[in-house]
Amino acid sequence: MTLKAIIFDVDGTLANTEHDCHLKAFNEVFDFFKLDCYWDNFIYRDLLSVSGGKERLTYYINNFNPKLKEGLSESDIDDIHNKKTEILIGRISEGLISLRIGVERLINDVHNHNLKLAIATSTSFNNVKAILESTLGKNVLKNFEIIAAGDIVDKKSQLPIFMIMLLIK
């Protein structure tokens, strides 16, 4: 069997974003909306078993802080997550995130050997774009055959199937 493509995840694979960016952005958005919660490293490590930021927030409220549920609608959760994403992209744009060691070389090698590059991630397309463009330059997205982000499917569990369907077409 010949290698035809490399599929990357983003958070924790391309870049160490979870504790350095996502966690800090969540706590900043909690302050922004004056919510009575704070995630430390231990809570966040447990929450990482839930795929997706909005889903992680909902899981936290339902399982760790149910009193927050009384005052928040699904629309409020969306607003909180959108603001968190805005904060996160701001941090990324400021250069606070770098790729993991060897990732840039691997991406260049794969591209130079005419293999397909793809991304399958539960994070949003805007997060992927911000990370790639801030670390590899504005034209890097053209090197990826497919970027399947969590905001393009109804359920994030559908991403692997969606990715395979796109690559074999």
pLDDT of residue 31: 97
Residue 74 to residues 15, 133, 143, Cα–Cα distance (Å): 30, 31, 36
CATH of the domain at 46: 1.10.150.240
pLDDT of residue 40: 95
Q: Quick one: tokens of 100?
A: 């993991």
Instruction: Give pTM, 2 decimals.
Output: 0.82
Do 117 and 87 sit in the same domain of this protein?
Answer: no
3-state secondary structure of 132: helix
3-state secondary structure of 49: coil
Residue 54's CB is within 10 A of a number of other CB atoms, namely 21
pLDDT of residue 152: 65
Q: Which domain holds residue 148?
A: 5-16+98-168
Report, as ranges of residue numbers, the positions in the chain whose pLDDT lies below 50: none
Active site residue 11: yes
pLDDT of residue 95: 85
